[in-house]
Structure 1
Amino acid sequence: MASRNDLPPGKDIADMRCSGALTIARAGSTARELEGLSQGGTIDLSGVERMDTVGAWLIHRTQRDRDAKVVGANPDVQALLDQVAANDHPVLVRPDQRPAPTRALEELGAATYDIGRTLMGLLGFFGATLIGFGNVIRRPKRFRINAVVQAFDSVGVRALAIIGLMSFLIGVVIGQQGAVQLAQFGAESYTINLIGRITVRELGPLMTAIMVAGRSGSAFAAQIGTMKITEEIDAMRTIGVSPIEALVVPRVLAAVLMMPLLAFFAMLTGIIGGGIFCWLSLKIPPASYAMRISEVVPVRDLYVGLIKSPVFGFIIALGGCFQGMLVKGNSEEVGRRTTNAVVQSIFMVIVLDAMFAVFFSSIGWL
């Protein structure tokens, strides 16, 4: 509480001595008494036994507004006053709007910085994953085969239905659109060439990778992210279990092994969908369609599709696990990281597919 010399009513005082506890419990009376301090007065805090943030703010506000001088504060009280003063910054309710070009450049710079930081983090995570694989190879007894089997079920078996349906419909769409365009030149029979080569070489592996990224990559990020929030990963480290070996390696291994099988399944269903369209619409018998497919689709196209698939699977699983490991804070972060995992995985898959196209073209595998 504050004490002051007796003065006539309406007169401000030049010196004020505070004593006891300046806490939130006495904020109202303290504020009223401090209002009576004259401009340039002195506040003596030598009698203050305890002060909280509210009391410190009242003293600081009086010192700031009335240009008062504070004396007699003990080290603890003075440290609290200094902290309050250091955090007393004016805040604009509506910040000044910067010019649009400046904001655009700032956003571009921030996005570029985030991309670079993410790539560096992903590169480091890639190295940690390789070390995890090395540890598993050196000490195979630590490897959890059950985790790989569960990942096989999640990545492969449960994805067959959606990948099969998607590939079948894509085969039908390619056949229909190709037949419409080729009919202008009287070359409907070449629809088979279009269906076979584009399905085996490109769309089979690529669409499978996109579906796996949206389905399994997001699941990896959500699962590991939830474990981060519930501190299960910290508990694993406490008992000496490496999260990379226990969580990341099985998922990456499952994705790498299952992607070629899923891509081959997508190729078959896409060709079957295109064949049914050719049979019903173009009146091409299934036997003739199968024979023509074997003639126009070279084996190297199959090799191209199967070579790309495990690389896509590795990137998808690595990106999903990496984003899951970055989760911290609350459940909202899980959703954000899951979205990032899907977007980044699909982006990297498309970039890698373009790089593969240039590479195979340069070595003559057209």
Structure 2
Amino acid sequence: MKWSRVIRTATAQDQSAAEFEIVGDGAERTVRLTGDWTLQALGGTGRRLRQMLEREPAQRFDLTGVERLDTAGAFALVRAAGDGFDPEQVTARPESERLIGLVTEAARKKPKVKREPRGWHEMTVRIGKGVVSTGYDAFDTLVFAGHLLIVFGKSLVNPARIRWASVFSLAERAGLDAIPIVATTSFFIGAVVGLLGANMLREFGAQVFAVELIGIAVLREFNILITAILLAGRSASAFAAEIGSMKMNQEVDAMRVLGVDPFEALVFPRFMALLVTIPLLTFVATLAGLVGGLAVTWSVLDIGPNFFFQRILEYVGPTHFWVGLSKAPVMAAVIAGVGCRQGMEVGGDVESLGRRVTAAVVHAIFAIIMIDAAFALLYMELDI
């Protein structure tokens, strides 16, 4: 015997609330849905439908009487029908059938638990990520260098494009303001080299050769190396922080919107400023290092200034000074390029700014030491 039972979840006055009724019995049992099966109108209907179907399962679902259906209503129907639910059991409008099919497919997907690598696997993954990241960094560096070369070529063709006010202002901050720290550091480096040379050569009775040791070490290596390392920590970090803060505040994006090339307005003036100031600071570092070495040899070995500088001129010569000074343009380009590139890579948060400023200093110092080693090998092969 067939029977009909109606389960209502709303009053008769609220005709838009979600309702359902179970029609028929046995293999012909059908659930007929009416009203609005939406998040706002659903209420507890889905839960009651699930409880009813657990006791008396149905084979068909009639949604032709449903006025509105959203993903919440479709999911309530799918969850109430259980694991054996098939979208083919639903009779509804085409758009409702498509929605129920999509919800059914999404509900049956189980999240995949990704196992975290451990031990040797974790190490190989980190090495692989590091290699890939290095490749991307190298590519981005080439892109940055190419863009900077284009701006440099345009500036050579038309010098009026150069922002001289910014160049001189940055040269003062990166050059004149750095003279005290560069001179002081170079003075003590020269003094340390002189003291080590005097103590070691005294054992062989060759104290006088401490002058040549000081001259070659200061003129050839320590003048440019100390200057570059100090500017890497001083100027590269400042460039990264300045450009990075502008990037965070979307000032760089505003420049592009206004038609201003950030490389021409921000990167190239800093490049020119260091290109001018590093040779001057190298000269200051050379004088300070020689004075530091002179102070030690004069006080420890009783070698006076006249004899000291005479041996510098006769046995050291200007060649070592020009060898050291030849590294200055390359160091300037590396320091400015690394600082500005890291600043341009800053994201929209303070943590990114801190990481990039730290990376600017570390990368610049690493590049300086590598370049100095490359120059040493080159001049050794050239016998200079």
Task: Compute the displacement of 1:79 (Å).
Answer: 8.9
CA pair 5-60 structure 1, distance change in 2 beyond 3 A: closer
Aligned pair count? 354
Distance (Å, rounded) in 1 between the aligned partners of 2:98 and 2:348 = 32
CA pair 45-330 structure 1, distance change in 2 beyond 3 A: farther
Q: 1:74 aligns with which of 60, 75, 96?
A: 96
Asked if the contact 2:223/2:282 (under 8 Å) is kept, the reply is yes
What residue in structure 1 maps to residue 270 of structure 2? 251
Matching of residue 62 in structure 1 with residue 88 in structure 2 = no
What residue in structure 1 maps to residue 360 of structure 2? 341
Correspondences of 1:273-284 after superposition (within 5 Å): 273-284=292-303
Asked if the contact 1:275/1:289 (under 8 Å) is kept, the reply is yes
Task: Compute the displacement of 1:67 (Å).
Answer: 4.0
Distance (Å, rounded) in 2 between the aligned partners of 1:14 and 1:315 = 77
Correspondences of 1:92-111 after superposition (within 5 Å): 95-98=115-118, 100-111=119-130
Task: Compute the displacement of 1:135 (Å).
Answer: 1.9
Distance (Å, rounded) in 2 between the aligned partners of 1:169 and 1:282 = 17
Aligned residue identity for 2:357: T
What residue in structure 1 maps to residue 326 of structure 2? 307
Correspondences of 1:191-270 after superposition (within 5 Å): 191-270=210-289
Aligned residue identity for 1:29: G
Task: Compute the displacement of 1:148 (Å).
Answer: 0.4
Matching of residue 317 in structure 1 with residue 336 in structure 2 = yes
Specify every segment of 5 or more residues in structure 2 that has no aligned partner in the other structure, as ranges: 1-16, 24-28
Q: 1:145 aligns with which of 156, 164, 167?
A: 164
Matching of residue 125 in structure 1 with residue 151 in structure 2 = no
Task: Compute the displacement of 1:82 (Å).
Answer: 7.6
Task: Compute the displacement of 1:124 (Å).
Answer: 1.4
Matching of residue 176 in structure 1 with residue 195 in structure 2 = yes
1:49 is paired with a residue whose SS is strand
State the Cα deviation string for residues 240-297 of structure 1 (Å, max 9, x = none): 1111111111111111111111111111111111211222233322332232222332
Range with greater deviation from structure 2 (167-176 or 56-65) = 56-65
Asked if the contact 1:22/1:30 (under 8 Å) is kept, the reply is no
2:203 is paired with a residue whose SS is helix
Distance (Å, rounded) in 1 between the aligned partners of 2:74 and 2:358 = 43
What residue in structure 1 maps to residue 10 of structure 2? none
State the Cα deviation string for residues 58-101 of structure 1 (Å, max 9, x = none): 54983797343454463884597389559862446xx4443x22
What residue in structure 2 maps to residue 287 of structure 1? 306
Task: Compute the displacement of 1:217 (Å).
Answer: 0.9
Report percent identity of matched pairs: 35
Asked if the contact 1:41/1:66 (under 8 Å) is kept, the reply is no
Q: 1:135 aligns with which of 154, 174, 179?
A: 154
2:308 is paired with a residue whose SS is helix
Q: 1:20 aligns with which of 31, 36, 55?
A: 36
CA pair 180-277 structure 1, distance change in 2 beyond 3 A: same
What residue in structure 2 maps to residue 10 of structure 1? none
Range with greater deviation from structure 2 (37-46 or 336-345) = 37-46
Task: Compute the displacement of 1:20 (Å).
Answer: 2.8
Structure showing greater radius of gyration is 2
2:44 is paired with a residue whose SS is helix
CA pair 61-113 structure 1, distance change in 2 beyond 3 A: farther
CA pair 49-27 structure 1, distance change in 2 beyond 3 A: closer
CA pair 175-5 structure 1, distance change in 2 beyond 3 A: same
Task: Compute the displacement of 1:35 (Å).
Answer: 4.7
Aligned residue identity for 1:20: D
Q: 2:290 aligns with which of 257, 271, 290?
A: 271
Asked if the contact 1:217/1:341 (under 8 Å) is kept, the reply is yes
CA pair 296-3 structure 1, distance change in 2 beyond 3 A: farther
Specify every segment of 5 or more residues in structure 1 that has no aligned partner in the other structure, as ranges: 8-12
Aligned residue identity for 2:44: S
Task: Compute the displacement of 1:51 (Å).
Answer: 3.8
For the aligned residue pairs, the C-alpha RMSD in angstroms reads 3.2
Distance (Å, rounded) in 1 between the aligned partners of 2:382 and 2:186 = 28
Matching of residue 156 in structure 1 with residue 181 in structure 2 = no
Aligned residue identity for 1:299: P
Asked if the contact 2:245/2:353 (under 8 Å) is kept, the reply is yes
Task: Compute the displacement of 1:180 (Å).
Answer: 2.7
1:20 is paired with a residue whose SS is strand
1:107 is paired with a residue whose SS is helix
1:74 is paired with a residue whose SS is helix
